[in-house]
Structure 1
Amino acid sequence: MQAPPGNIQSVGKAVAILRVFENGQPQRVSDVARAAQIGQSTASRLLSTLEAAGLLERDPVANLYRLGPDMITLGGVALNQHPLFRGSRQTLQNLAGRLGLGANVAIRRENSVLYLANFEGPEAPRNHTIAGRRDPLHATSMGKCLLLSVPVEERAALLGELVRYTSATITDLDALNEAVDEVERRGFAVDVDEFALGRASVAAPIRDAQGAVIGAMSISGPATALRLDERQGELAAIVVETADRIGSGLGYTAAIA
C-alpha cells in the first residue's frame, strides 16, 4: 500500500498524540512518544506545535504536557452542535436536581459508550465532569441500551473480548445478548457493580423519528443512594419516560403520559 503524503502522516501523528491525553493524566515527551508509537524527536516537535496552537499546554517546572484551554472551546462547540445534547441538557439538569442523583446521556461511538452530558445531584456528587468519557458497552446500563442498535450477528466482532471489571461484569456473549433482549422487552437496563463497585444505574434507550436507537439516558450514583432493591420500578419508569420525552423532541412518536 502506498504511503500517504507526509502532511497527512503528520496530521495522523498529531491526532495520535492528542489521544494519549484521553486518560486525563499529564504526560512527558517520552511517555507521549511511547504511547503514540512515534520517535521522541517527532513527538517533541509536534507537542511544541500543538502547544503553540493552544491545544496543549506545558508546565515549565515539571515539563509535563496537558490538554490546553482551546480544547475546551472546541469541545464545547462540538457538544452544542450535537442535537441529542441540545435536546437533553435541560431535561437532565432538572432531573438531577429533582432526584438528587446523576443524570446522563450518551451515544455509541464504535465499541464504547460516549458520554455527551452528565449532571450530578447532592446524593451523587463528583468533582469532575464525565462528558466525553468512554465506558464499555457490555458493562454499563446505557451500553446495553445502545447495543440494541447493533445486530446480534455483529456484536462479537464489535465487542471483542468482554473484559471483566468486577465479579458482576457480564463476560459471556450469550449472557450479554440475553441481557440486551431483556432491555428490548422491558424498556430499561440496570447496572449494579458491573463496571465499578458501589455504583449503580438505570438506563433507557433514546429513539429517533424512525424508532432507531440513537442514544441512551441514565440515572446513576452510589448503589446506596439508588436503593434499587426498593426503587427499581420507580426509577425505571422515570428513565423510560424521560428517554421518550427526549426522543420526542427529535421526532420519536412514542405515547407519553
Structure 2
Amino acid sequence: MAADQGTNQSVEKAAAVLASFLDGRGDLRVSDVAQRAGVGQSTASRLLATLEQLEYVERDEVSSLYRLGPAVISLAGAAVNQHPVHREARSHAQTLACSLGLGANVAVRRGGSLFYLCNFEGKLAPKSFTLLGQRNPLHATGLGKCLLLGLTPGQRRELIPEPARFTQYTITDHDALDAALAEVTERGYAVESEELALGRACVAAPVLDSTGTVTAALSISGPLSAIDLSTREAELGRIAIEVADSISIGLGYIGPGHQPAHLTVAGS
C-alpha cells in the first residue's frame, strides 16, 4: 500500500508539473514550474528531466527554459480525435468559419466550465492561438448559456454559486441569468456581447445527442464590427441553429425541431 501511495504521489506531481504550462504564457524556468506545481525545486528539476526524456517537455538549449513537448501534442490529438462530438462537428465548424469569415467553435461542459473541442478562425476573426482544450466560464459566454439549458435554477446556482464579473456587461445575478436563459430557450440560440471580453461577441446554439440531451454547443464568434449583431443577429442565429442541428443529427438525434426547454445537459 505504501508503494502504491508513493507511485500515486509521483504521478500526481508529474501531472502538476505538466499542468504548470497550461496557461500558455511562454517557456518556464525550473523555479517557475516548482512554484506553480507546488513542489520543491529539486523535485521539479528531477521530474522535468524525466519528462524531457519521454518528450513530454522540451528544453531550449540556449535559455534552458522548458515548454511542453511533442508527446503531449500526440496525446492531445489522439484524445480529441476519439471524442464523438469533435469527430462529428469538426467539418461543420471548419466549413462555417470559411463561409462566414468568422470564428466557429464547439464546446462541451466540464463541471462549471465550458471546454473547447473545436476552434476555427475565418479571415475576419483571426487569432494567433487556438482555443482547443481551453476552458471558459459558462455564464459569460454564448456557448456556456447553451450548455446551461435544461439545468434547473437550483442546479445552476449550485454549479456556479457566485458568477464572476469579467466586464461591465457580464451577468453576475442569478435571476438575470435565469431570464437570459429563458430567452435562449424561446428563440433557440444564445447571444453574448462583451460579457467575457470587450470588443468580442458571439451567437451560439445547443447540440443534442441521441437522447435529446444538450451534449455540446456551437458558436459563431468574432469582433463586434464583424459580428454586427444589430443587423445580423437573426441571420447568424438561424445559421448557428442549422449547423448545430446538423451536428445533432450526426450524433443520432432524431427528435422534432429545436426544443431546449425539455432537455437536460450532459457534463458533471
TM-score normalized by structure 1?
0.94
Alpha-carbon shift at residue 255 of structure 1 (Å): 4.5
SS of residue matched to 1:42: helix
The AA in structure 2 aligned to 1:237 is R
The AA in structure 2 aligned to 1:206 is V
- Aligned ranges 1:1-257 → 2 under 5 Å: 5-25=5-25, 26-255=27-256
Alpha-carbon shift at residue 125 of structure 1 (Å): 1.2
Do the aligned residues in 2 keep the contact of 1:96 with 1:102 (CA within 8 Å)? yes
SS of residue matched to 2:104: strand
Alpha-carbon shift at residue 179 of structure 1 (Å): 1.6
Distance 2:210 2:38 in 1: 43
Structure 1 range deviating more: 6-15 or 173-182: 173-182
Do the aligned residues in 2 keep the contact of 1:244 with 1:254 (CA within 8 Å)? no
SS of residue matched to 2:149: helix
SS of residue matched to 2:75: helix
CA offset digits 1:183-217 (Å, max 9, x no partner) = 22221111110111100100001011111010000
Cα distance change on mapping 1:29 and 1:160 into 2, 3 Å: farther
Distance 2:87 2:240 in 1: 18
Gaps of 5+ in 2: 259-268
Alpha-carbon shift at residue 149 of structure 1 (Å): 4.8
Structure with more relative contact order (C-alpha pairs < 8 Å, separation 6 or more): 2
Alpha-carbon shift at residue 151 of structure 1 (Å): 3.5
Do the aligned residues in 2 keep the contact of 1:245 with 1:256 (CA within 8 Å)? no
Alpha-carbon shift at residue 75 of structure 1 (Å): 0.8
SS of residue matched to 2:22: helix
Number of corresponding residues? 256
The AA in structure 2 aligned to 1:183 is V
SS of residue matched to 1:157: helix
Distance 2:175 2:237 in 1: 24
Cα distance change on mapping 1:59 and 1:247 into 2, 3 Å: same
Distance 1:28 1:148 in 2: 43
The AA in structure 1 aligned to 2:15 is V
Distance 1:4 1:31 in 2: 28
Identity %, equivalent residues: 54
